Amino acid sequence: MESKLVNNLSDAIRAAGLKDGMTVSFHHHLRNGDFILNLVMDEIANLGIRDLTVNASSLFDIHMPLMDHIRNGVVSKLLTDYVSGGIGRYISNGILSTPVEFRSHGTRATDIACGRTPIDVAFIAAPAADCRGNCTGKLGRAACGSMGYAIPDAMYAKKVIVLTDELMPYPLADWAISENFVDYVVKVDEIGDPKGILSGTTRITRDPVGLVMADMAAKVIQASGLLKDGFSFQTGAGGATLAAAASLKKIMLEQQIAGSFALGGITGYLVEMLRSGCFRQLMDVQCFDLDAVKSIREDPRHREIAAAHYAGPGTRGAVVDSLDVVILGATEVDTDFNVNVHTDSSGCLMGGSGGHTDAAAGAKLTMIIAPLVRARLPIVTDRVGCISTPGSSIDVLVTQRGIAVNPGRADLAHALRAAGLPVVDIQELKQKAESITGIPQPVAKGDKVVAHVLGRDSAIQDTVLSLPQE
Amino acid sequence: MESKLVNNLSDAIRAAGLKDGMTVSFHHHLRNGDFILNLVMDEIANLGIRDLTVNASSLFDIHMPLMDHIRNGVVSKLLTDYVSGGIGRYISNGILSTPVEFRSHGTRATDIACGRTPIDVAFIAAPAADCRGNCTGKLGRAACGSMGYAIPDAMYAKKVIVLTDELMPYPLADWAISENFVDYVVKVDEIGDPKGILSGTTRITRDPVGLVMADMAAKVIQASGLLKDGFSFQTGAGGATLAAAASLKKIMLEQQIAGSFALGGITGYLVEMLRSGCFRQLMDVQCFDLDAVKSIREDPRHREIAAAHYAGPGTRGAVVDSLDVVILGATEVDTDFNVNVHTDSSGCLMGGSGGHTDAAAGAKLTMIIAPLVRARLPIVTDRVGCISTPGSSIDVLVTQRGIAVNPGRADLAHALRAAGLPVVDIQELKQKAESITGIPQPVAKGDKVVAHVLGRDSAIQDTVLSLPQE
């Protein structure tokens, strides 16, 4: 058998023909445990290649060495869907001369597929692979479960290099990416640190405010009329949203509601709902914990989906378009229901849409859960520091002090009031918060554009300015 | 949920924007039970659309109405990998003004993917689908198992229409093609006739000549040194090749040889070998019988693969490139080991490469099994009527009267002789046959080029002339 194994990463990069000014890509299923991006960028720097665009589905603090590669000219442009706080601070301080392009996970997939953001060399961190490049996240010491975000990179990049620390006998049966998309395979010592890749278990919040919001969220879903046979659901891994899922599960089991699917990043909690019969199926683009990894490996009802299938915008659509309810977070919501998940209260980048904008656009009921006050600042503002997800996609904001419904959803407001839920005007929520915190000072901003946030149509939706110079 | 269901096929064709001169595509998993190609072409004709190119992975006698659409100008060009005898006769009689382009299954996939043969509208016959286009061949009354050949069409066509007679609740979990590739879904009464789609069971030959060849074939494999742990294997559904697989199974079980995978079109016989531990895995691009369909639906070791993964030529390669042994058939073999599977002894088209050329190019040992004499004509000739698979890809010809080894494989000839097998010169086989049949008359040919047979590099490898005019 002709193996695609090359001796080392350096040989693979050379064989792939990487040159100055090209674009390389990375996926983020190894999250804050990922060793691959740093390993690759160091090797690229050693080879003297410069002026690269890095298209990374997300960046975490473990990727901080990337900042050095920006400083020394190896990297000149970033495309990403999410940045952690540490990385965000550097970007907000203007480390790049070109604005970062932020996309949603779905828009990233579509823009790669349609050639708007071509990739020259994709680097795929694979927890298990065979010598011809069939690879999976379901096996191996650094198993991450789904590899959904890496699939567009593999399908459309000009060259594809798989890096693995677990070589399996050919053919690896349960591939996420098949060999016909792979040019080279490189064996490395360790692709990542399992502790940084997955939580041991995801936990429901014990915070009383979180529990109040969770209970209210479940009641909103119930009152919306969507909680019936065929119900579909997406939520994140945050403690309060998990608590909302717990409340939902209780209602679904009591009322014997047979949902259809849960979607998105998958936690053990959603796996438990699958097993309890709340859903027929899990559609998984990313596993958040060990239970989810075990489930996607063993349970055929738990399916891996590609980023485009999950959330790609466009006429053919994606699973998000068939979603009933999504529960999402926010750092700020404004009185037009625009949501910020990119910047913190000081205007510093510390997040990104991920699938936020996609799920919000698709779901019949998009709910933001957030405490009325966070870090002594109101959650509701006149204008968010950055429009991550437009207010037109948001139906309802649930806080512990009341529920604000988008004026475009009078039907929903009516249903919630009929169910005895505390519907209030969003202005009222803002005033309540300000009565606690006072009116916050306007955020001082620098004058350099450090990021463009692109909407699902790939057009610029908002712009992030640098932090003020100290 | 926004459904992609359209009222009827006519609306779907119009919505897809099909116009004169465009290309439509079809896949052949429903084989001689397929109703879809005729249904679609009739509707296209009704709509007055003309001058189309039809790219069909294979054509069967059930598709004979296509000849009318050629006559009346609806269809002006054909691309295919295989034609049955009835269709072949029309083509050989010169029904088309442009030569048919024959490719292998792998080359078809690659040429679609790289844009060499773009598809405007792909029509996918799906035994089960949901209203958003997720679809599978594993379920439904016309279940065909794998849909591997349809995957390039779905991935790369400008518009994709799924036709099904079995609408499933959304989301259909075990999709072969996912909704993000599908534009429209059409519900039809019946996509096909199960009796024409699958054999009930595939059977081992009882013909004594076939059994002698099968036994010899198994001994050749054993003597080749390839039959050891990790062994991989492809064969067709013919009675003699199945008998060879039976002999092989016996040896593998006796000697406790743990193979890796069997590949290609899958029969119940290969499923039985999987279950017996002869292989770890089946890689299935097309199911030939009911047992194979049941197995691909239920056994995670039995995996559906896309046509490109199966056999796509190119630098990234495909599973065929890792194949140890393939057993293939032939209508003729010449003294340079070139194989014809396109035309019969009178020069009339009645077949095509399918995966023949791909598997032959990839396998370490490519074996042709054929009886020395067929229909009172020698199997070995000076020059085959059509080079379907070049002799450089063929290692050995097994007949009931001796084994001819390609002169380029002196190592193999040596190994076979050492094992006491009757290795003879291919000229000697030819003479033996001619001593029985006499020297056949040269085949009379017409002067019109009716087909180009393309090699795995997409260049013209051979040309088929029309039958002589009567």
- Answer yes or no: do B179 and A309 touch at CB < 8 A: yes
Place of tokens 């599978």: B136
pLDDT tens-digit profile, chain A (470 residues):
689 999 999 999 999 999 999 999 999 999 999 999 999 999 999 999 999 999 999 999 999 999 999 999 999 999 999 999 999 999 999 999 999 999 999 999 999 999 999 999 999 999 999 999 999 999 999 999 999 999 999 999 999 999 999 999 999 989 999 999 999 999 999 999 999 998 766 778 888 999 999 999 999 999 999 999 999 999 987 878 889 999 999 999 999 999 999 999 999 999 999 999 999 999 999 999 999 999 999 999 999 999 999 999 988 999 999 999 999 999 999 999 999 999 999 999 999 999 999 999 999 999 999 999 998 999 999 999 999 999 999 999 999 999 999 999 999 999 999 999 999 999 999 999 999 999 999 999 999 999 999 999 999 999 999 999 86
Calculate helix-pair angle for B268-275, B239-254, nearest 10 degrees: 10
Residues of A engaging B, defined by a Cβ cutoff of 8 Å:
1-2, 4, 132-133, 160, 169-171, 173-174, 178-183, 230, 260-261, 280-281, 283, 300-301, 303, 305-306, 308-309, 312, 315-319, 321-322
Q: Does residue A164 sit in helix, strand or coil? A: strand
Q: Does residue B418 sit in helix, strand or coil? A: helix
Residue B383 has pLDDT above 80, yes or no: yes
Residue B470 has pLDDT above 80, yes or no: no
How far is B460 from chain A, CA to nearest CA, in Å?
24
Comparing C-alpha atoms, which of A443, A240, A229 is closest to residue A340? Answer: A443
pLDDT tens column, B282-292: 999 999 999 99
How far is A69 from chain B, CA to nearest CA, in Å?
31
How far is B295 from chain A, CA to nearest CA, in Å?
15
Residue B232 has pLDDT above 90, yes or no: yes
Residue B438, phi-psi category: left (phi > 0), alpha (psi -120 to 50), beta (remainder): left
- Answer yes or no: do B180 and A280 touch at CB < 8 A: no
Q: Which residues in chain B have Cβ-Cβ distances shorter than 8 Å to A170?
A: 260, 322
Whole-number Å distance between alpha carbons of A159 and A132: 14
Is A48 exposed, middle or buried (CB count within 10 Å of its CB: 0-12, 13-18, 19+)?
exposed
Q: Does residue B38 sit in helix, strand or coil? A: helix
Rounded mean pLDDT, B321-349: 97
Looking at chain A, which residue has its C-alpha nearest residue B226?
Answer: A1
What pLDDT is stored for residue B201 in this prediction?
A: 66
Residue B160 has pLDDT above 80, yes or no: yes
- Answer yes or no: do A312 and B180 touch at CB < 8 A: yes
Whole-number Å distance between alpha carbons of B245 and B239: 10
Q: Please answer whether residues B331 and B343 qualify as being in contact, where contact means their C-beta atoms are separated by less than 8 angstroms.
A: yes
Handedness of CA B152, B153, B154, B155 (dihedral sign): positive
Whole-number Å distance between alpha carbons of B283 and B304: 6
Residue A13: both structure tokens together: 């990069």
How far is A292 from chain B, CA to nearest CA, in Å?
17
Looking at chain B, which residue has its C-alpha nearest residue A182?
Answer: B316
CB pairs under 8 A between A and B: 96
What pLDDT is stored for residue B353 in this prediction?
A: 96
How far is A383 from chain B, CA to nearest CA, in Å?
32
Residue A73, phi-psi category: left (phi > 0), alpha (psi -120 to 50), beta (remainder): left
- Answer yes or no: do B179 and A317 touch at CB < 8 A: yes
Q: Which residues in chain B have Cβ-Cβ distances shorter than 8 Å to A133?
A: 316
Q: Which residues in chain B have Cβ-Cβ distances shorter than 8 Å to A169?
A: 230, 260, 280
Place of tokens 């209970």: A215
- Answer yes or no: do B173 and A305 touch at CB < 8 A: no
Residues of B engaging A, defined by a Cβ cutoff of 8 Å:
1-2, 4, 132-133, 169-171, 173-174, 178-183, 230, 260-261, 280-281, 283, 300-301, 303, 305-306, 308-309, 312, 315-319, 321-322
Among residues of chain B, what percentage have pLDDT more than 90?
94
- Tell me the residue ranges of DSSP E strands in B149-266: 159-164, 184-187, 232-235, 261-266
Residue B341: both structure tokens together: 């599977």
Residue B1 has pLDDT above 80, yes or no: no
Query: Nearest 5°: phi and psi at B97?
Result: -85, -20
- Answer yes or no: do B171 and A322 touch at CB < 8 A: yes
User: Given the DSSP bridges, would you call strands B135-136 and B128-129 parallel, antiparallel or unpaired?
Assistant: antiparallel
Is B230 exposed, middle or buried (CB count within 10 Å of its CB: 0-12, 13-18, 19+)?
middle
- Which one of A180, A184, A303 would you mutate to disrupt binding with B, by most B Cβ within 10 Å of its Cβ? A180
Q: How confident is the model at residue B164 (pLDDT cuts 50, 70, 90)?
A: very high
- Answer yes or no: do A173 and B318 touch at CB < 8 A: no
Residues 6+ apart with CB under 8 A from B289: B198, B199, B200, B201, B202, B237, B267, B268
Q: How far is CA B101 from the centre of its chain?
A: 15
Place of tokens 């008359």: B441
Whole-number Å distance between alpha carbons of B452 and A80: 48
Residue B346: both structure tokens together: 């009178």
Whole-number Å distance between alpha carbons of B231 and B252: 10
Give the amino acid at A286: Q
pLDDT tens column, B190-219: 999 999 998 766 778 888 999 999 999 999
Comparing C-alpha atoms, which of A363, A368, A371 is closest to residue A340? Answer: A368
Q: Please, what is the average pLDDT of chain B?
A: 96
Beta bridge partners of B402: B399
- Answer yes or no: do A300 and B169 touch at CB < 8 A: no
- Which one of B232, B316, B364, B365 would you mutate to disrupt binding with A, by most A Cβ within 10 Å of its Cβ? B316
Whole-number Å distance between alpha carbons of A450 and A102: 11
Looking at chain B, which residue has its C-alpha nearest residue A305?
Answer: B178
What pLDDT is stored for residue A368 in this prediction?
A: 97
H or E element that contains B269: helix B268-275
Q: Which residues in chain A have Cβ-Cβ distances shorter than 8 Å to B322?
A: 1-2, 132, 170-171
What pLDDT is stored for residue A201 in this prediction?
A: 66
Looking at chain A, which residue has its C-alpha nearest residue B311?
Answer: A180
How far is A426 from chain B, CA to nearest CA, in Å?
29
Q: Which residues in chain B have Cβ-Cβ distances shorter than 8 Å to A305?
A: 178
